[in-house]
Amino acid sequence: MPDSMPQLTLHDSSSRSTVPFAPLDPGNVRVYYCGPTVYDLAHIGNLRAMITADILVRLLRHLYPRVTYVRNITDVDDKINARARANGEPIDALTARTIRDFHDDLAAVGVLPPDVEPRATHHVAEMIALIERLIASGHAYEAQGHVLFAVAHFPDYGALSGRSPDDLLAGARVEVAPYKRDAGDFVLWKPSEPDLPGWESPWGRGRPGWHIECSAMSHRYLGESFDIHGGGSDLLFPHHENERAQSQCCFPHSRFANHWVHNAMLLVNGEKMSKSLGNFLTIRDVLSDTPAEALRLLLLHAQYRSVLNFTRAGLDEAKQTLNRFYRAIGDLPADSTDPVPDEVLAAMCDDLNTPRALAEMHGLADRALAGDRAAAAGLRAAGRLLGLLGQSADTWFRAGAGVDEAEIESLIAERLAARKSRDFARADAIRTDLAARGILLEDSATGTIWRRA
């Protein structure tokens, strides 16, 4: 890293402090993120983790010559089996469709793909190899066709999350079972019913537990020790604690992940998102009437470690900000390669301080709107670092309204017809409706034109 580059500092969940980031190999920074369990559309809480990863990896790529970013796909899981059964659909069809939808949704909001996207079902042999090592070293045991990790045999268990094995009982995806030596022991392998996915193993036909897949895939693609492991704070315990226990018991002199990054949760209208509260939003729900870039910007309003409250007002604010930024950029070409302004880079290097970076961008927009072309170029470059402002201003103002151009033209035609038949109430309703969506109509002698408010 050149001397002129600011030092990246990142909060590390393991040490519970914000520390300078120092890669194990500055020539290849290695990052692992837990990806989706593919049985349903991704929701905006999932998206927050994926966007946090995206801005982190974009920043690392800016600072270092090479980054290897691995994000797995969990395509074997009890929830997948249950959903496929409920849908009356083959498991492969469900997972293939969900993966396609996931990729489409992330691409829409400008999340770049990982370098490697391993699927759990393609790495069962690697998982079996790790489980065999754990049994051989006395960290795991077989019981009634299951293989369990013995938490009591790893004295450091709980050090990552600061929690105790007893807390496992309250954790997700853990069942109390008679074959466990300790209630906190977790499943590495379990028997599979004939009609469910299964693989031959030294312990009979079965399927892996959830945690072991990330230990196997991170090891395969990033080695025994790598730089950053990330995910939503809901994964810290037990999932990441268990991954770390497995990996450090397999490779006793490794660090597994050197640095742990966890993003805080997302609320919707101040409440935890849940289907029962009726505030559950998939990415698609939001994109049905909102420009994707506004959703992306909204998720950057809060620094990743702060709880983010998703509201319609927040989305509107994001749209207004983008209107302002695109006005400031004007006709500057989208593919410019101007340097990222120091103050924006410094904000991002301060533990991904996106609110501060956006405040700096507003400052650049002020100067750009006053005619400063260099500030406009800086704003465009800052946008590139954050995955924003990637389209031309013209495209944004034409399409960014979240309404389809063809739909606007057809509503204008319908309004004209309504006026001709003297249905002024209908004509006015169309005008009011479009105005509410940010589209203003202007009638002239030659016809009606529209523009973005």
| Nearest CB to Zn ion, comparing residues 180 and 239 | 239
Question: Position 218: which residue type?
Answer: S
Match 């998982």 to its residue by tokens: 127
Q: How far is CA 281 from CA 118, 168, 275, in A?
A: 27, 29, 9
- Expressed in percent and rounded to 5, the helix, strand and coil fractions of the chain are 45, 20, 35
As a whole number of angstroms, the distance between CA 300 and CA 315 comes to: 11
- For 185-196, give one letter per residue: b (16+ CB within 10 A) or e: bbbbbbebeeeb
- Decide: 30 and 227 in contact? Cβ < 8 Å: yes
Consult the annotation and say whether 211 binds a ligand: no
State yes or no: 275 annotated in a binding site. Answer: yes
What is the rounded (10 degree) CA torsion for 42, 48, 49, 50? 70
Taking the C-alpha atoms of residue 77 and residue 121, their distance in angstroms, rounded to an integer, is 10
- 34/332 with CB nearer Zn ion: 34
- Provide the binding-site residues for Zn ion, judged by CB under 5 A: 34, 214
Q: Is the alpha carbon torsion for 417, 423, 427, 430 positive or negative?
A: negative
Helix (H) or strand (E) holding 146: strand 146-149
Rounded Cα gap, residues 376 and 443, in angstroms: 33
Least distance (Å) between residue 72 CB and Zn ion: 7
Query: Which C-beta is closer to Zn ion: that of 149 or that of 396?
Result: 149
Q: Which residue type sits at 208?
A: P
| Shorter beta-carbon distance to Zn ion: residue 214 or 294 | 214
243 annotated ligand binder: yes
- Output 53 or 214, the one with its CB closest to Zn ion: 214
Minimum Å gap between C-beta 229 and Zn ion is 8
CB of 239 to Zn ion, least distance (A): 5
The answer to the question of whether 34 is labelled as a binding residue is yes
Report DSSP state, residue 74: B
Residue 239, annotated as binding a ligand = yes
Q: Least distance from C-beta 243 to Zn ion, angstroms? A: 6
Q: Residue 34 or 168: which CB sits closer to Zn ion?
A: 34
> Closest distance between Zn ion and the C-beta of residue 214, in Å?
3
* Comparison of 185 and 243: residue with beta carbon closer to Zn ion: 243
Q: Please, what is the minimum distance in Å from the beta carbon of residue 97 to Zn ion?
A: 22
Structure tokens at 423: 């249905």
What is the Cα–Cα distance from 32 to 36, expressed in whole angstroms? 13
Shortest distance, CB of residue 210 to Zn ion, whole angstroms? 8
Binding residues for ATP, as ranges, are: 275
Binding residues for Zn(2+), as ranges, are: 34, 214, 239, 243
Binding residues, as ranges, are: 34, 214, 239, 243, 275
